Chains A and B, each alone.
Chain A
């Protein structure tokens, strides 16, 4: 009963859904005479995507840079914190509640504060992106560093291995798959963080990421263009996700030459 449908169906079915939704959308706009400022026709969105292509591409490029830098920062900060956590249970007990706090505080609420401190600049956007995406790295890498096979630990104990040697030759290599997993979760968050940051940086003129562009479009009631920008944001997120996915697959394959040692 649960047979996988053939390839043509798997390709055509989502496209058919897209067409159907677009058709209903179009009909609704025509039938109920919805003004384009509230809901433009789907073809208007497509044409806005085309006419604004250079603005959107330039904005996407800036946002991509911000989110990749944000992700890189969270990888560096996250791994450092995780290593410190793995070395001291006191540090872990004392600081973990605040790491959870970082995860639960609504980033939208502290973004304005960050802008007061750090200015309406690129680095603020990177900072917001980093703060929002660092938690999965910390928690995944910490658990990877701590959940080591007992036999492997005994093996190192038998050689009277120092704490440093155990960290370097056992804990860190064991945690690589956890880092890859953490990055996979974080990359989507880093894009969200960058766009949220940009929405708050707003029209300073000094910055033109997707978020700032969307702000301007909203102010000018360019609804079709705004929807096109939303599509660009989504595409950007998918792009970064695929990139991290690919990178992770390459790293994991090289790490264990396939099979037997999958990501947890």
Chain B
């Protein structure tokens, strides 16, 4: 039986990428579970399978073997409850910010088989306004096209689009990799704010150690398609940027860095 307090449960998940000449075990019978309302960061070098794991959880890749349960149900049955934030903001360039944020509902809207009731026009407008405000958009920027926005603003719009369907689980694939440190730390705080307001569970892929520690309850270090190590981050919530300067943070940083180096020689 599943414990209802587990949001994401992966059991012996294996993924193999094949091409004509070779076979690569991208995920090697991996186990991980994420408790509800927690933030877990997946940390590891390029090619260790962290993005693949995220895609498996999202249902974008079907594993060769193993089982994934989302809040006790199959991935297909929980799609409505999942949202994905891509590495590049992946906004549709011909749509305004507003229209981009509306898109998930537009796709779901008329479609049958959707479990969540479709919001009315007014409800939707209110939800978009609320979400855009939450991620830090001024009303003057609501109707701009992505080409008129900075990288940080594009990412904020992308996060808003993920939040608009009120997901229980947010999956983020190196969302801030292309941003500078200042912006990255601002958006980290925004994510923490969002989690505290919505109670989302979050699986966060990154290759930045400091970001992984700052954001999460737990850091999972990956290596060659497996979880090599998990490190609990016992820093208090709510977190503020000041915590980055504390000895406790530095200690965790050393611990994670050492684990990363040990498992990925």
A154 in contact with B84 given A160-B113, A256-B93, A261-B147 (CB within 8 Å): yes
A173 to B55, CA, bound (A): 26
Partner of B145 from the list A160, A169, A173, A257 (CB cut-off 8 Å) is: A257
A220 to B149, CA, bound (A): 65
Residues 210-264 of A contacting B (Cβ, < 8 Å): 255-261
Q: Are B94 and A155 in contact (CB under 8 A)?
A: no
A170 in contact with B92 given A158-B82, A158-B83 (CB within 8 Å): yes
Inter-chain contacts of A151 with B (CB < 8 A): 86-88, 90
Q: Which of B14-22, B104-112, B186-194, B204-212 contacts A (4 or more CB under 8 A)?
A: B104-112
Query: 1/0 contact trace for B36-74 toward A, CB 8 Å?
Result: 000000000000000000010011100000000000000
A133 to chain B, nearest CB (A): 26
B96 to chain A, nearest CB (A): 9
Q: Are A176 and B94 in contact (CB under 8 A)?
A: yes
A173 in contact with B94 given A160-B111, A256-B147, A261-B147 (CB within 8 Å): yes
A256 to B92, CA, bound (A): 10
Asked whether B225 is an interface residue with its Cβ less than 8 Å from the other chain, the reply is no
Q: Are A152 and B107 in contact (CB under 8 A)?
A: no
Partner of A173 from the list B82, B92, B147 (CB cut-off 8 Å) is: B92
User: Could you list 27 A-B pairs, sorted by A, with CB under 8 Å?
Assistant: A151-B86, A151-B87, A151-B88, A154-B60, A154-B84, A155-B84, A157-B59, A158-B59, A158-B79, A158-B84, A159-B107, A159-B108, A159-B165, A160-B79, A160-B108, A161-B107, A161-B111, A173-B92, A255-B94, A256-B147, A257-B145, A257-B147, A258-B147, A259-B147, A259-B148, A260-B147, A261-B94
Binding site for A on B (CB under 8 A): 55, 58-60, 79, 82-84, 86-88, 90, 92-94, 103-104, 106-108, 111, 113-114, 145-148, 165
Q: Besides the contacts A159-B165, A169-B103, what 18 more A-B pairs have beta carbons closer than 8 Å? A: A154-B60, A155-B90, A158-B58, A158-B59, A158-B60, A158-B104, A159-B104, A159-B108, A161-B107, A162-B111, A165-B107, A173-B94, A256-B93, A256-B145, A257-B145, A259-B148, A260-B146, A261-B94
